[in-house]
Structure 1
Amino acid sequence: MMCSLPSFLSRGKLATTAASACRVPAVCAQMQAMYATGPRQEDKTFYEFRTYTIKPAMMSDFLKLTKENIHLRTAHSELIGYWTLEYGGLNKVFHIWKYDNFAQRAAVRAKLSQDRDWLDKYLLKVLPMMDKQDNEVTYLVPWCKLQKPEKEGVYEMVSFQFKPGGPAVWGQAFRAAISTHVNTGYTKLVGVFNTEYGLLNQVHVLWWNESADNRAAGRHIAHEDARVVAAVRESSRFLENQKNLLMLPTQFSPMK
């Protein structure tokens, strides 16, 4: 089967060569890859990021009620982690849920809407405690696997907003910057997530450290490492902005 040509290849000097090349499947696939925005997302598994803003006077009550009833929610789908924000935002909680595909998420939401225990014991009581809810759908980038720390610590979520174009434009430089930080050994990479629904060209990197002071000391060392400096400088050429959050796992968070 012949593949279709990009419109600008269907005319001019490249037309004849491109048309001939696309009669060969392997060459056709290679040419299509030239215009892709990055590696294809083969794994259907995705991660939903949920951020809730809690009324300041209600945070303790919110966490207590959630701790007592989170089992009603995790009976339906997998909770990866649940954190409170220490720096970078006040009166907020952040949690990650894993789904095999969108059909599973739809089925989970449908069942929750019919779960009287969940509705009566938790949802109806907790909604008046919240000011705002936000969510994003993200995928792990193809070159990263989710790693769960073996002991308690603090978590840093770094969100990068890149210039338009997708991983084909900024992916290689960004991966190199992440790898150099990993190689310093001062921090542990938990996961790198690319936003699918939410702000596009956004990547979230979740790190683990033993403590906030340990993280600060490691960062000083990394910033004096010429390899890190060079990689970050290259990646920053594609960067629009970034934001850091320091998060503490709750007592009921699977990730500690």
Structure 2
Amino acid sequence: MFCTVKMLKLFGSLRPSAALFRTTAAAAQPSAHLATGPQQEQRTFYEFRTYSIRPDQNSAFLKLTNEKIHLRTAHSQLIGYWTVEYGGLNKVFHIWQYDSYSQRAAVRAALAQDPSWISEYISKALPLLTAQDNEVLYLVPWSRLKSPPQQGGVFELVTFQMRPGGPAVWGGAFQAAMSAHDAPGYGKLLGAFHSEFGLLNRVHALWWFESADHRAECRHRAHTDARVVAAVRNSVAHLDSQRNQLMFPCPFSPMK
């Protein structure tokens, strides 16, 4: 009996504490990373704006904008301004660049106090529109905004609605698919953007082609290119939907 009690005391003193069990269990759990992908390094962001125009006022809106766009570009940088030719009717699409949200707020405040902008443009343009939409986006970490190789081509805006999870889930496959198309003999990728405000997990790719026929030729060629097909198959596993627009640059568009 004495030996039994003595041994129980001995082994009891060797029993790990509850705190030790908790520490060991925590260490056994896989570490969690708070980031869902590469961190955004640049503060510069882009505002995508799409305006729907009354069908009978399309020409009037474009004429007015061509004459008065300088009132708007005096306040912030316009990247490009396009009319949608295929994939949407009576629409214009434009991209504006900002260095910070405070800069954009200051620009909006200045426009509201600009009598020329209000009287000569905005008061005349708004009655010609049926809807306005905007998104705030950043370039994806591996993309940089580029200029077209030459003037006189057409632009395609391809919009991908990716499945939730962020770039940590679909970023690598998406980059591979874009890179496969951005190669000699195909179109030129001018920028890939991911949404910050607007519908999330949305990515836009802005492409340039020599012509609409050149774009059609590239698409047919891609269907028989094993390299492109393999990259696209890996990417579509993360894709919910996709839409595209073929666009022509306006005469006053910096990117054309």
- TM-score, normalised to structure 2, is 0.88
Counterpart contact for 1:46–1:137, Cα < 8 Å: yes
The residue aligned with 2:85 is 86
The residue aligned with 2:26 is 15
Q: Are 1:153 and 2:164 matched, yes or no?
A: no
Post-superposition CA distance 1:178-232 (Å, at most 9, x none): 0111124321011000010011100000000010000101111111100100110
Alignment of 1:1-256 (within 5 A): 15-16=26-27, 34-149=33-148, 150-256=150-256
* Distance in 2 separating the partners of 1:78 and 1:35: 34
Q: How many residue pairs end up in the alignment?
A: 234
Look up the equivalent residue of 1:223 and give its one-letter code. H
Post-superposition CA distance 1:93-123 (Å, at most 9, x none): 0000000010000000000000000000000
The residue aligned with 1:8 is none
Look up the equivalent residue of 2:175 and give its one-letter code. R
Look up the equivalent residue of 2:130 and give its one-letter code. D
The residue aligned with 1:6 is none
* Distance in 2 separating the partners of 1:13 and 1:54: 64
Q: Give SS of 2:183's match.
A: helix
Q: Give SS of 1:71's match.
A: helix
* Distance in 1 separating the partners of 2:174 and 2:200: 15
Post-superposition CA distance 1:222-245 (Å, at most 9, x none): 111001001100100010000010
* Distance in 2 separating the partners of 1:41 and 1:235: 22
* Distance in 1 separating the partners of 2:119 and 2:54: 20
Look up the equivalent residue of 1:96 and give its one-letter code. I
Look up the equivalent residue of 1:63 and give its one-letter code. L
4+ residue segments displaced more than 3 Å:
11-14
Q: Give SS of 2:110's match.
A: helix
Q: Which structure 1 residue ranges, 5 or more long, are not aligned?
A: 1-10, 20-30
Task: Specify the structure having the higher radius of gyration (Cα).
Answer: 2
* Distance in 2 separating the partners of 1:45 and 1:180: 27
Q: Give SS of 1:49's match.
A: strand
Q: Which structure 2 residue ranges, 5 or more long, are not aligned?
A: 1-21
